[in-house]
A and B are shown apart, each in its own frame.
Chain A
Amino acid sequence: METTAPGPSHATSALSMHVAIAAFGAILLALVWGVTGAGYFWPVWVWFAFAVTVALHATIRFALLRHGLERATVLVTRLAAIAGAIILVIWMLSGMHGFWPAWPLCGIAAVAGIFLIATNQDRLPGHRRLVERVGVLERTREGALSVQAAELRRIERDLHDGAQARLVALSMLLGRAEDRLADRPEAAELVRRARDEAGAAIAELRDLARGIAPPVLADRGLAAAVDALARRAAVPVTVDAQLGRRPIPVVETAAYFVVAEALTNVAKHAPGASARVQIAERGDRLVVEIADDGPGGADPAGSGLTGLRQRVEALDGRLEIASPPGLGTLVRAELPCVS
Chain B
Amino acid sequence: MRVVIAEDHALLREGIVALLREHDIEVVAQAEDGEGLVRIVGGHKPDLAIVDVRLPPTFTDEGIRAAIAARERRPGLGILILSQYVEPIYTAELLESGEGGIGYLLKERVGDVRGFLDAVRRVADGGTALDREVVAELVRSRDERAGDGTLDALSPREREVLALMAEGRTNAAIARAMVVTNGAVEKHVTSIFAKLDLPATDDDHRRVLAVLTFLRAGGEA
By a beta-carbon cutoff of 8 Å, the part of chain A in contact with chain B is 157, 160-161, 164-169, 171-176, 178-179, 195, 198-199, 202-203, 206, 209-210, 214-216, 218-220, 224, 227-228, 230-239, 267, 271-272
Contacts and interface: CB of A to CB of B under 8 A. Distances in A.
A61 B213 CA distance: 82
Nearest to A218: B60
Nearest to A171: B111
Nearest to A175: B111
B157 to A, nearest CB: 22
A273 to B, nearest CB: 11
Contacts of B108: 167-168, 171, 198-199, 202-203
A199 B116 CA distance: 14
B141 A234 contact: yes
Contacts of A236: 145-146
Contact of B85 (A179, A195, A206): A206
B202 interface: no
A173 B54 CA distance: 22
A168 B110 contact: yes
Given A167-B108, A174-B111, A228 B88 contact: yes
Contacts of A219: 60-61
B111 A231 contact: no
Contacts of B88: 228, 231-232
Interface stretch (B11-19, B31-39, B43-51, B173-181): B11-19
A234 B113 contact: no
Contact of B111 (A195, A214, A218, A272): A195
- Closest A-B pairs by Cβ, 8 of them: A171-B111, A234-B144, A175-B111, A219-B60, A219-B61, A175-B113, A168-B107, A179-B113
Which of the four size classes fits the interface of chain B? 35 or more
A209 B221 contact: no
A169 B61 contact: no
Contacts of B141: 231-234
B131 to A, nearest CB: 12
B137 interface: yes
Given A228-B88, A232-B137, 12 more contacts: A161-B9, A168-B111, A172-B111, A176-B113, A195-B111, A195-B112, A198-B108, A210-B85, A227-B221, A231-B221, A232-B88, A233-B141
B172 interface: no
B89 interface: yes
B89 A231 contact: yes
Nearest to B54: A160
B80 to A, nearest CB: 15
A249 to B, nearest CB: 13
A234 B89 contact: no
Tell which of A227, A228, A232, A233 has the most Cβ of chain B within 10 Å: A232
B11 A175 contact: no
Contacts of B16: 172
A166 B11 contact: yes
Contacts of A161: 9
Tell which of B61, B116, B220 has the most Cβ of chain A within 10 Å: B61
Contacts of B54: 160
Contact of B221 (A165, A198, A238): A238
Given A169-B12, A179-B113, A199-B108, A216 B144 contact: no
Contact of B219 (A171, A231, A235, A267): A231
Interface string B105-148: 01110111110100000000000000000000100110011100
A165 B15 CA distance: 12
Contacts of B107: 164, 168, 202
Given A168-B107, A206-B85, A234 B19 contact: no
B150 interface: no
Contacts of A175: 19, 110-113, 116
Nearest to B143: A234
Contacts of B220: 231
Contacts of A209: 84-85
25 contacts: A168-B110, A169-B9, A171-B108, A172-B19, A175-B111, A176-B113, A195-B111, A202-B107, A203-B108, A209-B85, A210-B85, A218-B60, A219-B61, A220-B61, A220-B89, A227-B89, A228-B88, A228-B89, A231-B141, A233-B145, A235-B145, A236-B146, A237-B221, A239-B221, A272-B146
Contacts of A179: 22, 113-114
A14 B16 CA distance: 93
Interface in B141-184: 141, 144-146
A199 to B, nearest CB: 5
